[in-house]
Amino acid sequence: MKQLTAMLSAPKTAAPPAVFARQRPRYAEKLIEASLLAAALLTILTTLGIVYALFRETISFLGEVPLTDFLFGTEWHPLFNPPAYGVLPLVTGTLAVTGIALIVAVPLGVGSAIYLSEYASKRTRKTIKPILETLAGVPTVVFGFFALTLVTPFLRDIGINVDVFNGLSGGLVVGILVVPTIASIAEDALSAVPSGLREASYGLGATKYQTSTKVIVPAALSGIVAGVVLGASRAVGETMVVLLAAGQRPNLTFDMREPVETMTAFIAATGKGDIPTGSIDYKTIFAVGALLFVMTFVLNMLSNFIVGRFREEYE
């Protein structure tokens, strides 16, 4: 007790004891800090450089094609004569493929996340999670051929009359591609739900299913949604699968049995051709790229925003 009072009444301004004094400057630490900062700056600068290049060409493109024609025009054939620069068919192609992908990926991704986090035994989880994550590492060109040579014939076998190149099989396979993204983020969100909430729910006589659907999933909802948004952003940016399987016909339709062209597929297909630098055709690539960038950027921001909100929920 006496000690305590002594501590409490001790002057707060006393000089720090000598044992805490710095003994010698730590140069190695400073050096490491500086090089880490340099690495971070380099990454940021590169990104800024890309954005700059993207928007410089885009502004120059918009000097020749009015913005409203570009955004709201319904015909896209920049290489024909006369050319048309309405990006809408590419946007709808992209959105339709993304939509199909999400129809596949959201139930599969969220479902497997719930299974892994709430139902699977530790051993099952340890086996399945790496497999799921390996799926994310398969080169997308493999998925593209999978779509073209297996999924499209399969769709025909089951009586869906698709063209050789079609948005449907592209979208389905992009969906499979996106499952690991959604599953992994959703699983993180579900496992991050404090175990106290699980115990509280079981302690009230709730079943596993009731606990998952009424407590755990709602508590992790913003994390799950963030995963879905990130998955959507991956689907929007996915290139190889749609390039190989969906065809390259800018097509203002939502009938996904037909070929469609997405924004990414256009960029890849046109970019690999021999287009003179500085020509209007060259600039279209950048314009479409900039629009794509804005779309995925908005999606990623949305996802970050939701994740940020999620953190507040049960602190």
Partner 1 sequence: MAWKVKEEPAPGGAAPDVTPQGEHAPTGAQNIFELQAVSVRYSGNLAVKEVGFGVPTNRITALIGASGCGKSTLLRCLNRMNDLIPGARVEGTITYKGQDLYSPRVDPVQVRKRIGMVFQKPNPFPKSIFDNVAFGPRVLGMKEDINLLVENALRRASLWDEVKDRLKDSALGMSGGQQQRLCIARAIATEPDVILMDEPCSALDPISTARIEDLMNELKDRYTIVIVTHNMQQAARVSDKTAYFSVEVGDNDRRYGRLIEYDDTERIFTNPSDQRTEDYVTGKVG
Q: Is the peptide bond before 82 cis (omega within 30 degrees of 0)?
A: yes
Alpha-carbon distance 37 to 79, whole Å?
45
Instruction: Give min distance, CB of 218 to partner 1, in A.
Output: 7
Q: Which C-beta is closer to partner 1: that of 157 or that of 315?
A: 315
Instruction: Give min distance, CB of 132 to partner 1, in A.
Output: 21
Name, in order, each residue with C-beta under 8 angstroms of 156's C-beta and a sequence gap of 6 or more.
162
Q: Which C-beta is closer to partner 1: that of 30 or that of 214?
A: 214
Instruction: Give min distance, CB of 110 to partner 1, in A.
Output: 19
Applying CB under 8 A, the residues found at the interface with partner 1 are 121-122, 194, 196-207, 210, 214-215, 218-219, 313-314
Q: Which C-beta is closer to partner 1: that of 220 or that of 236?
A: 220
Q: Which C-beta is closer to partner 1: that of 77 or that of 125?
A: 125
Q: Which C-beta is closer to partner 1: that of 35 or that of 207?
A: 207
Instruction: Give min distance, CB of 188 to partner 1, in A.
Output: 17
Q: Which C-beta is closer to partner 1: that of 75 or that of 188?
A: 188
Sign of the four-CA dihedral 64, 68, 71, 74: negative
Instruction: Give min distance, CB of 208 to partner 1, in A.
Output: 9
Instruction: Give min distance, CB of 207 to partner 1, in A.
Output: 5
